[in-house]
Structure 1
Amino acid sequence: MIDNRKREMAERASILYYEKNYMQNEVAKELGVSRSLVSQLLSYARNNGIVEISINIDEFNLRMIRREIELRVNFPQVKQFYIMSSDSEDETRRKLGDFAAPYLFDMINESRVIGVNLGASVEKAINSLTRYTFPDSRDKDVVQIMGGFSNDIHRAHPIELVKKLSSILNCGYFYLNCPAIVAQEELRSALLNEESIRSVIQMWEKIDLAIMGIGTVTDDSKLDSLLSDDMKKMMKESNARADVNINFFDCRGEYLPILENHKISLGYDGLKRINKKVAICHGLHKKEAILSAMKAGIIDVLITDSITIDAVESELKTG
């Protein structure tokens, strides 16, 4: 008798909640019971076949969502994955920026101070944001978080990316008119004491969203072209695998404090303090770097493609 009464109550609660769209407190008032009992009745209804919930998602999207859930289990340090299905690296190069843009749109709208560094995928994603209309963003700021790679003629200078994003948002910006790496420690100290650079560094403490790439540490990396022979030797001996804003990590994700007195960038401790750190990157050549960065816990959101993440997972299993 008690079970029959409970079932009847669960049926009534289910109709009100699922069909009539009542809130749980409204269901409680209608049935003359407590809100906690309503919650128990709805749970009873789901567990005993009174209510059946189906999720209508096409097969491809369902596979991708399940994949992202699996990734969060394997890499608990990363809070969210957004994986673009891709048949080739060329397709990814063309489309990843457009894929990343709507996710960046949402994250930027929830943020106040946005830090940006250099990366081909970051650049394409920012360019793709020109198609979006942002709500009033005059209270936001865009901040450069590393100096420039002025010898890279094939890629936008980070100042240009900062200006581009601030133009899209119609907000203020802070840029670093200096190189990312300097050979002399004295020159670095002098640059850090310049008022224009100090004002940017002070803004780093206010950043609540960082949009970054993940770099490799190889002889053909963009960073390598800025290093002296002594620096290159130091890098090789360190066994670094990943470069995140000129912060280096080994294959276990351990931080490597190298080039500390030569770089002008937001450092490891500063990055860790940022509420949301987004990495946009792809490429089979970056599988070790991405795996290292994920193990380090230095990124919260990874936006990449299916080819790259397959390679990263294979690297995890074999490494």
Structure 2
Amino acid sequence: MMNWEERRQIVKVANLYYFDGQTQAQIASKMGVSRPVISKLLNKAREMGIVEIYIKDENAHTVELEQQLEKTYQLQEALVVPAANLSTEMVKHALGKAAASYVSKNIKDIKSLGISWGSTLSKFVQEYPYEQHRDLQIVPLVGGMGRKFVDIHSNLLAYQLAQKMNSYCAYLYAPAMVESKELKDRLIQSEDIAMVLKEGRGVEMAVVGLGNPFEGSTMTDMQYLTPKDLDSLKLAGAAGDIGSRFFDIDGKQIKHPLNDLVIGLDLEEFKKIPQVVGIVEGAHKVESIRAALKGGYLDVLVIDDVTADLLLHPKKITN
């Protein structure tokens, strides 16, 4: 049992440190002991419950989730935005803003940036600030011609982002997915397409979205995926897609005819990019995100707090 004098000393040190704002060195000098002794007493104050530290800010919850995600999935960085009482559209804008802030702060020495496609990425481009990056090239990482949802295609997003950054971009004049392997082989041998794909493989940073092919899939809405395709993807064990390439629950690219019809980077090529920033929204994508992280495709994850919580605590997911 600790005697009264020892306990009194701990309380006194805690008061001087937390309420008076004195440094450990100042307290040590005042009490005639070494600074490590003061540090040890402050630790004891926390261990014994004499001092309890609370961070009273709405960001405390999201910062804790970020740290847990970084530790659990060996991420370079995680950015978690609060989603309480926000519509899906508002959450996507918040994610886009967070991702734009991250890229803006980390792009100074980068000469090439790759971008995929999708509704969340379009919010990233919308939220990106106007800057000067004259030596930077923006490269689309997957094809995207078509009549539907043109506003979220990689070529348009690359162009719009280049406008925001006062930089320049390449264009990948090809569909994201073609009808046959023969057509794909002919197209990727075209000098223009081959050159852009080569530039895509060499980007220093990439910004990508991530999909669940079976729920809320833009590829299904665009009619790139038919009900028959979805059935065969399910049989093949597809869990998610990045850049229109499908991977399984372990994050491995699946052997499926659709993966052979995509004009864009394959998943192994994504892994070779020095930094891949993934922007993802929605609880329906939890297993897809977990599989992508297992596969090692993402270095930075920008995510909402509800999805982050489910990613860290799988038992919370109810059937």
Give the TM-score range, shorter chain.
Answer: 0.7 to 0.9
How far, CA to CA, are the matches of 2:82 and 2:153 in structure 1?
29
- Aligned residue for 1:82, secondary structure, equals strand
Q: Paired residue for 1:176?
A: 172
Q: Paired residue for 1:23?
A: none
* Cα 1:184/1:142, change in 2 over 3 Å: same
Report matched runs for 1:105-120 at 5 Å: 105-120=104-119
How far, CA to CA, are the matches of 1:147 and 1:99 in structure 2?
26
* Cα 1:89/1:241, change in 2 over 3 Å: farther
Q: 1:186 aligns with which of 173, 182, 186?
A: 182
* Structure 1 counterpart of 2:281, one-letter code: H
Deviation string 1:59-111 (CA, Å, 9 cap, x unpaired) is: 333333232112222222x2211000121350413432223221121123242
Q: Paired residue for 1:75?
A: 73
Query: How much does 1:286 deviate?
Result: 1.5
How far, CA to CA, are the matches of 2:138 and 2:71 in structure 1?
33
How far, CA to CA, are the matches of 2:179 and 2:162 in structure 1?
31
Q: Paired residue for 1:268?
A: 267
In structure 1, the gaps of 5 or more residues are: 1-13, 16-40, 50-54
Does structure 1 conserve the Cα–Cα contact (< 8 Å) formed by 2:206 and 2:277? yes
* Cα 1:44/1:213, change in 2 over 3 Å: farther
* RMSD value, Cα: 3.2
Report matched runs for 1:221-240 at 5 Å: 221-224=217-220, 225-227=223-225, 231-240=229-238
Q: Paired residue for 1:163?
A: 159
Report matched runs for 1:183-262 at 5 Å: 183-218=179-214, 221-224=217-220, 225-227=223-225, 231-258=229-256, 259-262=258-261
In the alignment, structure 1 residue 312 sits paired with structure 2 residue 308 = no
Does structure 1 conserve the Cα–Cα contact (< 8 Å) formed by 2:113 and 2:205? yes
* Cα 1:59/1:73, change in 2 over 3 Å: same
Q: Paired residue for 2:293?
A: 294
* Structure 2 counterpart of 1:183, one-letter code: E
TM-score (norm 1): 0.76
Query: How much does 1:192 deviate?
Result: 0.6
Does structure 2 conserve the Cα–Cα contact (< 8 Å) formed by 1:188 and 1:262? yes
Q: 1:66 aligns with which of 58, 64, 67?
A: 64
How far, CA to CA, are the matches of 2:72 and 2:137 in structure 1?
35
Does structure 1 conserve the Cα–Cα contact (< 8 Å) formed by 2:211 and 2:242? yes
Query: How much does 1:197 deviate?
Result: 0.6
- Aligned residue for 2:78, secondary structure, equals strand
* Cα 1:46/1:158, change in 2 over 3 Å: same
Query: How much does 1:211 deviate?
Result: 0.3
TM-score (norm 2): 0.76
Query: How much does 1:279 deviate?
Result: 0.6
How far, CA to CA, are the matches of 1:316 and 1:192 in structure 2?
44
